[in-house]
Amino acid sequence: MSNFSKAHLRKRSPNFSLFIVIVLLVILGIVFLSSASSVISFQEYGDSRYMFLKQVFGIILGFGLMGVFYKIDVRFWKRIAFPLMVITLISLVAVLIPHIGVAHGGARRWIDLGPIQIQPSDFLKFSAIVYLASLFEKKGREVRDFMHGTLPFLILLGVMVLLVMAQPDMGTLLVVIVIAITMYFVSGAKASHLLGIGAAGIVGLLALIKISPYRMQRFLVFLNPSAYSNHAVGYQTKQALIAIGSGGLIGRGFGQSLQKYRYLPEAATDSIFAIIGEEKGVIGTVGICFLFAAFGFLGYKIAQNARDAYTRLLAVGITSWIVFQAILNICAALSLVPLTGVTLPFISFGGTSIVLAIASSGILLNISSNAQERTENENNPGRRGDRRSRYAALGNHSRTKR
C-alpha cells in the first residue's frame, strides 16, 4: 500500500448511526411480530409465543454473527468467495431433490435439517454479493469488455436465475437481479451493456409471467385489484389493503389487529407491513419507511467512503439487498407491484433471513470503521485540486492491486 493510503486509511469507530437504525428496526420488528404471529402460532403450534420465541433466537444468533463479521478482516470474504458461491449453488440444486428439499405452498425452497429449516435462496443473496464484489474488483477495467467482463457475469447470472426459478421464487429472483445489476453498474460497466441487459431482463420477466398462469393472475390483480377482489388470487392483496386502510392515521392500537385472525394470509411474513399499518396507521408505516431510507443513505455513504473497490462493492451490494427487498415487500403490501413473497428485512418472521440480514450488516459496520479519513486539505475548499489528485491516487491503487 502506498504512503498516501497508509496516511489516509485509519481504523476508527464503526458507523454508530447505522447500528442504531438496525437495532430500531429489529426491536420494532420483534414487537410487531409478537402481535402478528400470536394467532397463527397458537392455532398451529399450541403456543401463541412460538414464532416470537423462535425469532428471538434468530435475532440473538444474528447479533452474535454480526459481532464476528465485524471483527473479521473484509479480505477474508474475498478468499472464500468462490467456494461460498459453489456451496450455495449446490444447496439450490439440493432443494429440488425429493426427501431433501421441503415443499410449501407449491414452492420447493427449504432444506430440512431436523429441528431447523434453511432457505438456500436467502444465502444466495449474500453469496452473490461476496462473489460479484470479488469478480468485478478482479476484472477492473475489463468489466467494460463484453467477452472478458460482461459475458462471465451474464453466465453466472443465468445459472442463478435458472436455479431460483426452478423452485420457483420470483421475489428472490428480482432481489438477486437488482443486487447484481447495481454492483455491475457501480463497477464501471458500459451504458450500452447495461441498457441491453435491462431490455433483455424486461423481456425475460414478461415471458416468465406469461408462461405461468399463477404469475399471470398475480400480474392481472396488480393491474386491476378491484376486478379480482372476490377471487382467490386477489384475496391477499385485498386483505392487505383493508388492513392498511383500516389503520387510518394512528392505527387501531398495538395488538388490536383484526386481519391477523387468519383473514390476511402470511400475516407474520410477507404481509407484516400491512399489520403494522393496521395497528399503528400511517405514522407507523412512515416510521418504518424512514428507517429503511436511513439504512440506505448510511449504507451508500459507507460505500462512497470505502477504502478500495472491493469493500465499496460489498457495501453497495449489502445496502442494495436490504433496501430493495424492503421496497419490494412494502410496495407489494400497497399493491404498487404484484405480490412476490419476499420478507421485510429485520422485521418479518424467518430464521434464515433475519440471521443473514443482521449478520451481513456487521460487514457494513466493518467497512465503515476502515473508511477513508478526510484530511485537513480535503476539508479546505481552496485545495480542491489537491483533493482530486489524492482520490485519483487511491483509485489507481484499488485498480492495480489484484
For 315-346, the pLDDT digits (tens) are 999 999 999 999 999 999 998 988 888 899 99
- Residue 121 within any structural domain of the chain: yes
- Cα 259 from Cα 370, distance rounded (Å): 46
pLDDT of residue 232: 67
Residue 171: give the domain boundaries.
12-371
SS3 221: helix
pLDDT of residue 134: 94
pLDDT of residue 293: 97
Measured at the CA of 356, the angle between CA 108 and CA 166, to 5 degrees, comes to 20
pLDDT of residue 126: 95
Name the region of 85 (left: φ>0; alpha: ψ -120 to 50; beta: rest).
Answer: alpha
- Cα 383 from Cα 365, distance rounded (Å): 30
- Residue 2 within any structural domain of the chain: no
- Residue 397 within any structural domain of the chain: no
- Residue 1 within any structural domain of the chain: no
pLDDT in tens, the chain (402 residues): 444 344 344 556 788 999 999 999 999 999 999 999 999 999 988 899 999 999 999 999 999 999 999 999 999 999 999 999 999 999 999 888 877 777 766 667 778 776 677 788 889 999 999 999 999 998 888 888 888 888 999 999 999 999 998 888 888 899 999 999 999 999 988 888 889 998 988 898 888 888 888 788 888 888 777 766 666 677 888 899 999 999 999 999 998 999 999 889 889 999 999 999 999 999 999 999 999 999 999 999 999 999 899 999 999 999 999 999 999 999 999 989 888 888 999 999 988 889 999 999 999 999 998 875 543 334 444 444 444 333 334 444 444 444
What lies within 8 Å, CB to CB, of 153 at 6+ separation is 132, 135, 136, 143, 180, 184
pLDDT of residue 122: 86
- Following DSSP, what letter does each residue of 47-107 receive, concatenated? -TTHHHHHHHHHHHHHHHHHHHHHHS-THHHHHTHHHHHHHHHHHHHHTTSTTTEEEETTE
How many structural domains does the chain have?
1
What lies within 8 Å, CB to CB, of 263 at 6+ separation is 239
H/E stretch holding 110 = strand 107-113
pLDDT of residue 86: 94
- Cα 120 from Cα 172, distance rounded (Å): 11
Q: Which of 236, 253, 251, 259 is nearest to 333 (CA)?
A: 236
- Number of neighbouring beta carbons within 10 Å of residue 72: 13
Strand partners of residue 108 = 103
Measured at the CA of 265, the angle between CA 261 and CA 270, to 5 degrees, comes to 120
pLDDT of residue 37: 93
- Residue 22 within any structural domain of the chain: yes
Q: Which of 260, 263, 360 is nearest to 314 (CA)?
A: 360
- Cα 139 from Cα 148, distance rounded (Å): 8
Helix 351-369 vs helix 120-139: crossing angle, to nearest 10: 30
pLDDT of residue 101: 76
Q: Which of 379, 298, 313, 369 is nearest to 9 (CA)?
A: 369
For 252-269, the pLDDT digits (tens) are 999 899 999 988 988 999
Query: What letter represents residue 349's amino acid?
Result: F
CA atoms within 13 A of residue 85's CA, in its CB half-sphere: 17
- Residue 382 within any structural domain of the chain: no
Helix 151-165 vs helix 81-94: crossing angle, to nearest 10: 30
pLDDT of residue 105: 62
Q: Which of 332, 319, 329, 317 is nearest to 293 (CA)?
A: 319
- Residue 7 within any structural domain of the chain: no
- Cα 196 from Cα 385, distance rounded (Å): 37
Q: pTM (2 decimals)?
A: 0.86
The residue with cell 474488483 is 137
The reply to whether omega before 168 is within 30° of 0 (cis) is yes
C-alpha cell at 236: 391477499
